[in-house]
Copies of this chain bind each other. A is one copy, B any other.
Amino acid sequence: MSNDKQFVKEITPQGEDFSRWYIDVIKKADLMSYSPVRGCIVFKPDGYEIWENIQRELDSKFKETGHRNAYFPLFIPESFFQKEKEHVEGFNPELPWVTEAGGEKLEERLAIRPTSETMIGHMYSEWINSYRDLPLLINQWANVVRWEKRTLPFLRTTEFLWQEGHTAHEDEADARRETMQMLDVYRQFAEDFLAIPVIVGQKTPSEKFAGAIDTFSIEAMMKDGKAVQAGTSHYLGTNFAVAFDIKFLDRENQHQFAHTTSWGVSTRLIGALIMVHGDDRGLVLPPKVAPTQVIMIPIGPPKTRDQVIAKVDELYAELKKAGVRVKVDDRADQSPGWKFNEYEMRGVPIRVELGPRDMENGQVVLVSRVTGEKKTVQQSNFVEEVQNLLAEIHQQMYDKAKQFRDEHYIAVDTIDEFKTFLETKRGFALAGWCGSNACEEQVKQETGATSRNIPFTPTETKSTCLVCGDAAKHTVVFGRSY
C-alpha cells in the first residue's frame, strides 16, 4: 500500500513536538488511517498485527488462569443502564443510541456497549443458581464505543477493541483474589511482553470505574512524561449482583449475592508502546510483540547478488524454522540505505545484513534497532545469536524505559514543588494526599495532573498532603495523562 504515508516526508523530532511526532510515526509506519466517522480509526494491517500479537499472548494467559471466552450482544437496552446508579451516571454522556431499526422506531432505545457489566450481569443472573456454578470465569474480546470529546489514534478512539473479563464468585475474598490475579497478569504482560515498566496500585475514589468498589490499575509513562492507564481490574462487590439479581444458593443453602469483578485492556496499548519506546527515527517495537522481528537485507554489487540472496534465503529458512518472525527484502529497485531507514522507521528489532565479504568469511551482520550497534557473528551460530539478541533487546528496552520513568518520577512535599517539576522536567510526582476530593481536584486545576493511582510499593511514603498539609492518608502518584 502506498497510502497516506507518502504525505509524511519527515518525522517531527520528539523534542520539537511530541504529539506531532506521534502522528507522523503512526502514519508513516502505516499503522492506521483516519476514518470518515468521527473519532474512529482504521486499524491497518501493520497496526492490527500488533493487536493480534497482544491478543494471542493475553488470551493464552487468560486460559492458563482458568478463563473461557464468550460473546455477548453489542446492544444494551436503555433500562439496563438505569439499574446501577453510578454506572449510568458514568457512562450515559458517552453512549451512542440506536433508535430505529428495520424501518421502525424502537420501543426501547438500545445503547452500543461502552462496556458489558450490565448485559453480562443480566445473563449471569440466569446462569448462576448454586455455589457449584461459581466461580464463573469468562472473558470477551469485543469492540466497544464511547463517544469521547477529544480523540487520539489508538489512545482514545470512539470505537476501540478490547477484552473485558467478567467473573462471579462466592465471596469477597475470592473475588478480590481474582481482581489481584488479573492485575498481576497485566503487570507481567506489560513488563515481559511489551517491555513497559508500570506502576501498580489502586485508583482513588474519584478515578475509579463507575460502579466499582475498588479499581486497580497499571500506569505507564510515555516519553513526554504523560501517563497511560494501561490496564484496569475492578472489584465490583455486590453492586452489579444486586442491580441484576445475581443470586446463588450457598453451601448452607442460603441465598447470597455473588461478588463480581471485571478487568480489561484495549487497543490503547498500541499507542502506549509506541510512545514508550519510539524515537526520532520512528517506531521501536519490543521483540515479543513486533510483527516482524528480523528483517534480512542482501547487500553488494549485482554480480554477487544471486549468490548472496541464496545464502540469505538459507539463513531465513533456519530462522523461520526456529519460530522467529522474519522477512527478507531482496527488492532490486530500492537501495540498501533506503531499506535500512525504512525498517528502522517501522521499528523492526533486528536488521540482518549480508554481503559478499560476509559470504567469504562465513559471517553475517546483526544490527540492533534499539542501540544501533552492529555485531558480526558466525553463520553457523546465526539462529542462536538472533535469539539471544532479541532477548537482549527486550531487556534493554525495558531498562531504558524504566530509567526514563525513574528519572521523571519524583517525590514532592508540596503542590508548588510539583508545578516547578512539571515546568522544568515533566513526569510523575509521588506525594502525600489527605484523601479529600477537594485537594485532589485542586491538584488537577493547578497542574492539569490527576491522581494516577495509590501505588502498592511506593518508592517512599509521604506523611502530609501536598495541598492542605494535613496528615496524608495515602501516598499517591500524580501525572498528566492521555
- For the complex with contacts A48-B69, A92-B103, 12 further pairs of A-B residues with Cβ separation under 8 Å are A2-B127, A3-B129, A4-B126, A33-B127, A35-B123, A40-B73, A42-B71, A42-B73, A75-B96, A94-B102, A96-B98, A101-B147
Q: Is A482 an interface residue (CB 8 A)?
A: no
Q: Which chain A residues (59-81) contact chain B, with CB distance < 8 Å? A: 68-77, 80
Q: Is A45 an interface residue (CB 8 A)?
A: yes
Q: A130: which B residues are within 8 A, CB to CB?
A: 2
| B37 adjacent to A73 (CB under 8 Å) | yes
Given A74-B143, A75-B40, A110-B37, A126-B45 contact (CB < 8 Å): no
Q: How far is the CA of A65 from the CA of B103 in the complex (A)?
A: 40
Q: How far is the CA of A101 from the CA of B119 in the complex (A)?
A: 20
Q: How many copies does the complex hold?
A: 2
Return the contact of A119 from the options B35, B49, B112 (Cβ within 8 A): B35
Q: How far is the CA of A72 from the CA of B48 in the complex (A)?
A: 10
Chain A, 113-139, contact with B by CB distance < 8 Å: what is the 0/1 string?
000000100110011111011001010
| A159 adjacent to B70 (CB under 8 Å) | no
| B70 adjacent to A44 (CB under 8 Å) | yes
Closest chain B residue, CB of each to CB of A93: B103
Return the contact of A48 from the options B37, B71, B75, B145 (Cβ within 8 A): B71
Q: How far is the CA of A373 from the CA of B433 in the complex (A)?
A: 71
Q: How far is the CA of A170 from the CA of B334 in the complex (A)?
A: 23
Chain B nearest CB, measured from A155 CB (Å): 16
Q: Is A461 an interface residue (CB 8 A)?
A: no
Q: How far is the CA of A130 from the CA of B1 in the complex (A)?
A: 9
Given A33-B123, A95-B101, A45-B74 contact (CB < 8 Å): no
Q: A456: which B residues are within 8 A, CB to CB?
A: none
Return the contact of A68 from the options B45, B51, B76, B101 (Cβ within 8 A): B45
Q: A94: which B residues are within 8 A, CB to CB?
A: 102
Q: Is A36 an interface residue (CB 8 A)?
A: yes
Q: A388: which B residues are within 8 A, CB to CB?
A: none
Q: A33: which B residues are within 8 A, CB to CB?
A: 123, 126-127
Q: Is A206 an interface residue (CB 8 A)?
A: no
| A98 adjacent to B112 (CB under 8 Å) | yes
Chain B nearest CB, measured from A86 CB (Å): 18
Return the contact of A42 from the options B1, B70, B75, B143 (Cβ within 8 A): B70
| A102 adjacent to B98 (CB under 8 Å) | no
Chain B nearest CB, measured from A124 CB (Å): 9
